[in-house]
Every structure is written in structure tokens, then in C-alpha cells.
Amino acid sequence: MKTAKPVSIEKIVKISIVVMMTIVTILTVFGAASYFYFTHDLPSIETLRNYKPSGITKIFSEDGKVIGEFFYEKRQVVPLDRIPNYLIQAFVAGEDARFFHHKGLDYVAILRALFRNIFSGEIVQGGSTITQQVVKSLLLSPEKSFARKIREAILAYQIENYLTKEEILFLYLNQIYLGHGAYGVAAAAESYFGKTVEELNLAECAVLAGLPQAPSKNSPYQHPEQAKKRQIYILNRMAEEGFITSSEASKASKTPYAIRGEEKPSVESAPYFVEYVRRYVEEKYGKDALYKNGLQVFSTIDLHYQKTAEETMEAGLREIEKREKYPTADIPLAPEGALICFDLETGYIKAMVGGRDFRKSQFNRVIQARRQTGSAFKPIVYASALDNGFTPSSVIVDSPIVFEWGDKKWKPKNFEGKFSGPITLRNALTHSVNVVTVKIAREVGTDYIKSYAQKLGISSPLHNDLSMALGSSSISLYELTKAYSVFANQGNLFKPIFIKRILDRDGNLLEENLPPFYSEASSKEEQIIAPQTAFLMTYLLEGVVKQGTGWRARSLGRPVAAKTGTTDQFMDAWFIGYTPELITGVWVGFDEERSLGENETGAQAASPIWVAFMSKILKDKPVKDFPAPQEGIEFIKIDPKTGQLSLEKDGILECFREGTGPTQREPSPIKTSTDFFKYDFNFSAKP
């Protein structure tokens, strides 16, 4: 029997080498194939250097306060040097203690987290590094799979070789979700504590650092006890890692912190104005720019003016409710109001009240509501008359007149149902005489008045009949106030400004709107009507305050030009008035067609709101006179009843365009017109 030859050591070595080489080759090929498989479609890490996440578009008031925010993700990107060291250390201690020592993966931390979680009975520590969390948040989808974890590890290693530790921390601290819509530490600091990130103390830093593992579970809003538990854990970890002492940790754990009330859908300061700005930005720059690009919108709204406007509006409406005894349980019976205030020097919108409660109705009654204006339209008729041969002393006969059209008749009426006989144009406007206004409109022509109104900035459709003179057309408060602004602006086109400038997230200027006197480009104002006509209208409207329906405004103790307006059945009450500094328009009424109540006129319902607002705004400000044109104006003493020259003590000093004043003691005859026109036979205006 033959015995087997023993295998030589040399042969064993050769076989072993072959086997090992085969295994190495297989592993190398498998590894290369796997690496190619997992890396062939990896996202580029180069995009991390141009980190521009979705940001918050902020709207600022004139004094720099945030009055509105728009975003998909509430995030404020802040540089690392603005983030307190305590906050950085708290996140590192709680999330990745060996962050500054590993290259993207920390196997020691993975094992440590496993044992801690087993012994605690709950997940108190994660195994992912900060770098892996950056990968998960910025480069990969949130799917949970073995393949994604491998890709995550590869990208984490690549990032560690591409970015510095500080750059990784910058990405992490600005990107991480910390609950309740807050992304990044800056947004979280504001949401939870109402502070900037720089203002956080150690106790607050530890609260934020306890959120990443489970933002909802550890929310100080919803689970304050769990949030406190996590805070103490973070402080202890900071002490263990040598970032703070044990005594500092103990002291911080006992430091009280005030959690800001949980944020609800926000109703900003000046909500109707903010919504007006939002619509403009979205229309001009697009939805993504508004909600993602972190724009900075600097507006003109003055929060002192705005608060005063809201308070006086609410007080005025409550006074009407009290006076008319509306049923308080019947919510639809609540009257609404609107107010707009422009600075005449700059064009800035200083206050905008679009209604009583933005939460109940976002309908902006300053911009969107078009209502009949009643006698508030009359100044446009009278201004057009001044440009067609009429003067303040022109005499028109206030007497009954009937217009016939087919089988229909229209007999315009005065508010009190009485007629005054011959009356000057001044007195007709002062006392808001309907019949005289209609006769003037007939003489001037409805087409001319319509084009005149459009020239002043009114874009709403206007009736092409004589009822237009009494305010039968529906116009927005914004339009009508802007039209009056031409009178106050010495005949120049008035261009309201509601946004001063818009910057992108990097501070680059996207848009700037300067007042006329700030730049040569905007200083060339467009002359709409003659400055002499504008001043005459101001002078006449001062008379409405001194002797007419605008009498309440006399309480300001300064020059005021104004006009009231009331529509049929007291459905709409208006008061638009201006001083040399400001112009403010007020409207009061119901959203539906409903009477405010008997005798709730512009003088009774709207002017008290205007007076209360302007009194508070102009308090302690110097009294100014309306500026007169340097030429083309003359003052002549006349008889206020006849419009003739007067040397008597009861004469008044009237203003005329140079060369148009009376030269004799007899009034000039008024021209008549035989034009044909259509009529709204059911309309008559009230003062």
C-alpha cells in the first residue's frame, strides 16, 4: 500500500498565495464595482460652496421693524462668526462629540450611541455625524435604505476632504430643522425665544441643541418637561467634553428661560398693507422669488401712523354702532371702514387700513372696493370748471331743473330740499349744492369732466352722464385720495410710493423708488393741471372746512382743505382732506348694500375718524400754510353773496387766476349749454 506524499510547504505557500490573490482580486473587483455602482450618480458636492437655501422674504416698516415674512422654509442664513461658541459646542457635544477628529464617519460614536440607547431604553443619542446629517439634508433623499446609507458615508468622506470643519458647521447650523417651521439656529432662536442668535445664553443654547433628534417630541412648546430633560443632557455632555465646567452646567440647568408663545398663522402689523406689498412683489418678481429668495423689502409704512389709524377707525365705527344701536349679535351688521394716508412731500404711504379685521376679511377696502362717492367727487367737477372760464365768484342760479329723456324725467335735488337762488361757485361747493353742481357739469360737459378725472389718476369706469357730477360712479378710496393729492401737490401728478427699495439676499439692489426731490431722474414731476387751478381748489376746499360740511376739521387749528361725501340712503360716508404735510382719505359703510343709518353722512360718520387720526398725528407739529404759486394768482375783496367787488366790512378776500377776477360791481353772466346727454334718474348726492 502506497502512502501519500506529504504536500510540500512550498506548494502550500503557492496555493495560499493563489487563493489570496484570487480573493483579493475578487474583493477588489467587487469593491470597485460596488464603488462605481454607489458613486456613479452621486450629487456633486461642489454645490455646497454655493449654498443658497430657501430664505425668508422680510417686509420692513419705515423704522426698520419686520412687519411681514413670507417663506416656504423659515430660515435665516447667518455666518458662523455670528453664532455663539456655546451654541456650536452644544450641538457638537450633543450630536457629534468627535466632529473635529473624524473624517466623516465616527465608528466609536456609533457603538457608544448603541450602548447608551440600549441602557436608557430610548433613543437619546444618534450615531450619525454632523457631516452625515449635512449629506442627508442637502444632497440625498430622505429614503431609508442600506444603499442610501452607503452613499451617505461616501459623500460624508468626500465632503470632509472638500470643505473645512467650519464650512461644514456653517451648513449644518443653517440647514438643520429644529421644529415648528424653523430651519437653522437663527430662525429657531427667534421662534422659540424671540431673540437673535447672538443673544442666546447657555441655557437657551442647550435647549436648541436638544431638538435635532426629535424636534416635535422635544419641543418646549408642546413637551416642556422633555425639552428640559434634553437640555440637561446636552449640558452634561458639554461638561463631559470639557466645553464647560460642571458648575456652569448646573447653573445653566437652573437658569429660567422664557419660551415665546407658539406661533400661529401670523397677522402682521399693517396686514392690509403687507398683503398689498406681497401681491406686488409676487406679480413683479415671481412666486419663487417671494417665498424662496430671502428678499428684503423696505416699505414706507409708519407704525405710529398705522396704529393710530387702526385705533381711530375702530373707535369711530364703534361710535356709529352705538349711535345706530346695531344688533351686536348680528355679526354681518358690523360696519366697515377704510383709511389711506399719504405724505405729500415724499409720496410715501404712511398708513393703510383696509378693514376692521384682516383675519375675518382680507378684502382691502382701500384698493379693491369701488363705491359711489357722492359729493366727494364734486371737487373734480369744480376743478374742471375753473379750467373752463368759471371763477370762485361765478354766480349760478340754484333753482329747480328738470331733464327729460324720452318718457323719463330727472329732477336733481339738494340735500335739504331747498333752493338758494343765485349763489357763487365757492358757496355752492362749500355747502355741497347738488343742483348747482349739475348745472356746472352741464356747462363744462361730461366728456371733459370724465377725461379730467382720468388725468387726475382715476382709472375706474365713470358714468358718461350728469349723475357723474354727483358721485354716481364707483371709485376706490385710493384713487379718489390720489386725485385730491394733485390739488395738494400744486397740480403735479401724485405718485404714491409704498416700497422704498428691495434687496436680494446678498444685499444687491433690485428696485428703488425715490421721492421727487431725492434724484434728478425723479425730480421732473409731471404737471397735470395748472398750479393756479390746484391752489384755487385748495383755497375753495379750505372754505368747506371753515364754513361748510367739513367743519369738524377746524378743531385741528391749522389750514385744512377737505370735502365730505354721502350717497343715497346713507350707504357710503366719505371724508378726504389734507394739510400741507399729509392727505388722508376715509370711507365708512357696509360691504353689502345697506344704509349706515339716517343722517350718517360723511360729516357725521367719516369726518370724526379723519379728525381723530390727523389730530394725533399732527399734534406738536408746527402749523404750516398751503404754498401759493409764485405767479398767476391774485386776491380781490368781493361780496360773498353776489361775487361782486366789495369795499364793505363783510367782504371776503377771494382768490383768482390773474386777470379773471371781477372788475365791476355786477356779476358776469353764466353761459348755458344745449348739449344732449343721458341721465341716471334715481341718483342724488348728499354733502
Cβ pair 578, 344 in contact under 8 A: yes
Average pLDDT for 289-309: 96
pLDDT in tens, 328-338: 655 567 899 99
CATH topology of 68-254 equal to that of 371-492+527-657? no
Sign of the CA dihedral 56, 58, 64, 67?
negative
Query: What is the pLDDT averaged over residues 663-681?
Result: 46
Q: Per-residue pLDDT for 680 more than 50?
A: no
Residue 170 CA from chain centroid, whole number: 32
pLDDT digits (tens, 9 = 90+) for 483-515: 999 999 999 999 999 999 999 988 999 999 998
Q: Which of 80-94, 106-120, 635-649 has the lowest mean pLDDT?
A: 106-120
Judge whether residue 522 has pLDDT over 80.
Answer: no
Mean pLDDT of all residues in 189-209: 94
pLDDT in tens, 213-269: 899 999 998 899 999 999 999 999 999 999 999 999 999 999 999 888 655 444 568
Does 666 score more than 60 pLDDT?
no
For the cut 70, the answer to whether the pLDDT of residue 519 exceeds it is: no
Half-sphere exposure of 318 (CA within 13 A, CB side): 6
**Residue 12: pLDDT above 90?**
no
φ and ψ at 451, to 5 degrees? -70, -30
Reply yes or no on whether the pLDDT at 206 is more than 90: yes
Distances in whole angstroms, Cα of residue 118 to Cα of each of 226, 417, 649: 19, 92, 103
282 burial level (CB within 10 Å; 0-12, 13-18, 19+): middle
H helix or E strand, kind and range, residue 185: helix 185-193
Given a cut of 50, whether residue 672 has pLDDT beyond it is no
**What does the pLDDT read at residue 651?**
83
Lowest mean pLDDT segment, chosen from 84-93, 403-412, 519-528, 636-645: 519-528
Q: If pLDDT is split at 50, 70 and 90, which confidence band does 19 have? A: confident
Higher pLDDT, 39 or 461: 461
Look at residue 559 and give its three-state secondary structure. coil
Are β-strands 57-60 and 296-299 bridged in parallel, bridged antiparallel, or unpaired?
Answer: parallel
Catalytic residues: 95, 375
pLDDT at 265: 43
pLDDT digits (tens, 9 = 90+) for 550-605: 999 999 999 999 999 999 999 999 999 999 999 999 999 999 989 999 999 999 99
Per-range mean pLDDT, top range of 26-30, 31-35, 261-265, 606-610: 606-610
How does 610-619 read in b/e, with b if 16+ C-beta sit within 10 Å? bbbbbeebbe
What is the percent of the chain with per-residue pLDDT over 90, rounded to a whole number?
Answer: 63
**To the nearest whole number, what is the mean pLDDT of the chain?**
86
Domain ranges of the chain: 68-254, 371-492+527-657
**Residue 409 confidence (pLDDT):** 85
Of 159-163, 295-299, 343-347, the range with the lowest mean pLDDT is 159-163
Overall fold of domain 371-492+527-657: Beta-lactamase (3.40.710)
Which CATH class, in words, describes the domain spanning 68-254?
mainly alpha
The residue-averaged pLDDT of 667-674 equals 45
pLDDT at site 148: 61
Give the residue, 668 or 259, on which the prediction is more confident.
259
More confident residue, 524 or 272: 272
Q: How confident is the model at residue 480 (pLDDT cuts 50, 70, 90)?
A: very high
Q: Which residue has the higher pLDDT, 302 or 128?
A: 302
595 vs 119, which has greater pLDDT? 595
The reported pLDDT for the residue numbered 52 is: 80
What are the distances in angstroms from CA 567 to CA 247, 483, 493, 550, 639? Answer: 75, 19, 28, 16, 32
Residue 627 scores a pLDDT above 60: yes
Closest C-alpha among 456, 449, 471 to residue 378: 471
Higher pLDDT, 368 or 41: 368
Rounded Cα distance between 129 and 156, Å, is 9
| pLDDT tens-place string over residues 164-181 | 999 889 999 999 999 988
Which pTM was predicted?
0.82
pLDDT above 70 covers a percentage of the chain that reads 85
Contacts of 225 (CB under 8 A, 6+ apart): none
DSSP output for 593-612: S----TT--IIIIIHHHHHH
3-state SS, residue 296: strand
